[in-house]
Amino acid sequence: MRRIVVKFSLLFSIFFLFSSHAVAANSYFGNSSEKFVSGIANAATGWLELPKNVILTGQKEGPVYGITVGLAMGIMHTVGRSLVGVLDAATFFIPTKPSVNPPFIWQDFSRETSY
């Protein structure tokens, strides 16, 4: 039990230190940490693209189109956001902007994802 608490404490400390709120926004460390945090978040929450695309496509084109085409687009964007998230987290030391737009799925749920 103690090992689990220590691991979670270490993980929490890493996220706190690498959060973009803890450092200046335009520094190397700030850009790298923003890319790392968004990469981890996108890898973990990429599956939310599935219901997002079904809902958005259903609202635009109708429920049948939303269930069929929206489901296919959702699967495509789920894989895309998850893989790009893993790639961003793995290459966080190259301080570029996050590759997915919007950077987090919860930022603008009504906008389609672009890469």
Measured at the CA of 49, the angle between CA 113 and CA 66, to 5 degrees, comes to 90
Residue 6, pLDDT score:
65
- Its pTM stands at 0.71
Please report, for the chain, the start and end positions of each structural domain, with discontinuous segments joined by +: 2-90
| Rg of the chain taking only CA atoms, in angstroms | 17
Could you list the pLDDT tens digit for every one of the 115 residues in the chain? 667 766 656 656 666 665 555 545 578 888 888 899 999 999 999 999 999 999 999 999 999 988 999 999 999 999 999 999 999 999 999 988 878 889 898 888 888 888 8
Residue 112, pLDDT score:
87
